[in-house]
C-alpha cells in the first residue's frame, strides 16, 4: 500500500494534496492451520516485549473523521489492521536527497505519531537501499531473518515516479502473510519524501510546520490511516492550514496504537 502527498499550485502556494495508490497487499495463504503461520514469519525479534512498549492516550473525542487503510472483523468487532505495539517499528533512512533539516524534521514528525499512538520507532541507521514499489517486507539478504525495516527515503521524482509533478511524498505499510483476519498486521513499509520539493517548502514562511505536516501525514499512512473527506483533518487529501493532527486523526491513531501483539 503506497499513499502519496501532492503539492498543488505554483511554488509559493501552500496547498498540499495527497493521493492514494494501491500497493503491496499482504499475502493471503490458503492452506495451513493458525499455528503454522509462524513458519511464514521471521522469528520474534529480541527487542520485542510481552506487553505493549507504549500506550496510546485515552480516548479524547468521539470523532469519526478518520479512516483506516484496512480493517478486519464485523460490526462492533471491526478494528484496524495495525502494527504490533509490543515491538518497535524499525526504520532505515536513505538521505540521498535530504534537505538540510531532514533529520530534525523526521524526529519531530515521528515524535508526534508516537505521542498519538504509543508506537515506538527505532532508527537503525542510514541505508543506500533505493526506493522500490515492489519492495518485499522480508529481504533476508539485506536485513537478515527479520521483517525489513521501514525504508524512509529522501528522494526525488527521477527515482520515484509517483513523486512527479506536485506530489511531495508517497508512503504506506506492508502486511505480514496471514491465514486468518486476526493474523493481519503491518510489519514493514515505505515513506518516500521528495527532498527537493520539501527543501523549497522549508524556505517559505512557516515552512517548517508545513513540511512537518507533510511528513506527519505520510507517517499517518505508514501506521495505517487512510485519507478522509474532511478538510479539518491532517489526513485530508489536500493541504489546508492545518499543521497538526486533528481530532479525527488522533482517534484513528489511538485505535492504531491498540493493536494485537504477535510476540507470544
Shortest Å, Cβ 117 to Zn ion: 17
Element (H, E) at 19: strand 16-21
Angle between helices 102-117 and 207-223 (to 10 degrees): 50
Q: Nearest residue by C-beta to Zn ion?
A: 18
- Residue with Cβ nearer Zn ion (5 or 186): 5
Asked if 93 is part of the footprint of Zn ion (rule: CB under 5 A), the reply reads no
Q: Kindly state the cell numbers that stand for 13.
A: 502556494
User: What residues between 10 and 69 interact with Zn ion by CB under 5 A?
Assistant: 18
- Residue with Cβ nearer Zn ion (53 or 216): 216
Shortest Å, Cβ 4 to Zn ion: 6
Single out the segment in contact with Zn ion by CB under 5 A; choices: 4-12, 85-93, 113-121, 175-183. Answer: 4-12
Single out the segment in contact with Zn ion by CB under 5 A; choices: 3-11, 63-71, 102-110, 158-166. Answer: 3-11
Shortest Å, Cβ 98 to Zn ion: 20
Instruction: Report the distance separating Cα 178 and Cα 30, nearest Å.
Output: 9
The residue assigned the cell 502519496 is 4
- Residue with Cβ nearer Zn ion (93 or 235): 235
Query: What Å distances lie between residue 151 and 13, 67, 95, 215, 231, CA to CA?
Result: 29, 24, 11, 14, 29
8-state DSSP, 135 = -
Contact criterion met (CB below 8 Å) for 36 and 179: yes
Instruction: Report the distance separating Cα 156 and Cα 169, nearest Å.
Output: 9
**Binding residues with Zn ion: total (CB under 5 A):** 3
Q: Kindly state the cell numbers that stand for 250.
A: 488522533
The DSSP bridge partners found for residue 71 are 80
Asked if 119 is part of the footprint of Zn ion (rule: CB under 5 A), the reply reads no
Shortest Å, Cβ 3 to Zn ion: 5
Shortest Å, Cβ 113 to Zn ion: 14
Instruction: Report the distance separating Cα 190 and Cα 135, nearest Å.
Output: 8
Asked if 166 is part of the footprint of Zn ion (rule: CB under 5 A), the reply reads no
- Residue with Cβ nearer Zn ion (84 or 218): 218
48-119-225-23 Cα dihedral, nearest 10 degrees? -40
Asked if 3 is part of the footprint of Zn ion (rule: CB under 5 A), the reply reads yes
Residues binding Zn ion (CB under 5 A) = 3, 5, 18
Amino acid at each position: 500500500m503506497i499513499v502519496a502527498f501532492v503539492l498543488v499550485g505554483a511554488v509559493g502556494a501552500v496547498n498540499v494534496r495527497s493521493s492514494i495508490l494501491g500497493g503491496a497487499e499482504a499475502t493471503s495463504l490458503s492452506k495451513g492451520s493458525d499455528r503454522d503461520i509462524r513458519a511464514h514469519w521471521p522469528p520474534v525479534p529480541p527487542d520485542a516485549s510481552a506487553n505493549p512498549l507504549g500506550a496510546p492516550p485515552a480516548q479524547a473525542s468521539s470523532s469519526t473523521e478518520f479512516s483506516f487503510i484496512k480493517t478486519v472483523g464485523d460490526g462492533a468487532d471491526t478494528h484496524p489492521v495495525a502494527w504490533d505495539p509490543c515491538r518497535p517499528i524499525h526504520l532505515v533512512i536513505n538521505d540521498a536527497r535530504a534537505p538540510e533539516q531532514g533529520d530534525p524534521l523526521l524526529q519531530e514528525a515521528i515524535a508526534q505519531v508516537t505521542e498519538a499512538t504509543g508506537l515506538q520507532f527505532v532508527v537503525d541507521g542510514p541505508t543506500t537501499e533505493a526506493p522500490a514499489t515492489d519492495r518485499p517486507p522480508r529481504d533476508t539478504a539485506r536485513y537478515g531473518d527479520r521483517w525489513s525495516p521501514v525504508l524512509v527515503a529522501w528522494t526525488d521524482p527521477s527515482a520515484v515516479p509517483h513523486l512527479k509533478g506536485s506530489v511531495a511524498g508517497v508512503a504506506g505499510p506492508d502486511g505480514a502473510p496471514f491465514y486468518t483476519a486476526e493474523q493481519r498486521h503491518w510489519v514493514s513499509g515505505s515513506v518516500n519524501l521528495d527532498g527537493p520539493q520539501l527543501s523549497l517548502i522549508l524556505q517559505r514562511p512557516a515552512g517548517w510546520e508545513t513540511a512537518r505536516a507533510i511528513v506527519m501525514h505520510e507517517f499517518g499512512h505508514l501506521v495505517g490511516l487512510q485519507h478522509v473527506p474532511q478538510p479539518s483533518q491532517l489526513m485530508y487529501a489536500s493541504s489546508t492550514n492545518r499543521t497538526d493532527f486533528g481530532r479525527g486523526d488522533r482517534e484513528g491513531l489511538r485505535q492504531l496504537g491498540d493493536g494485537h501483539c504477535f510476540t507470544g
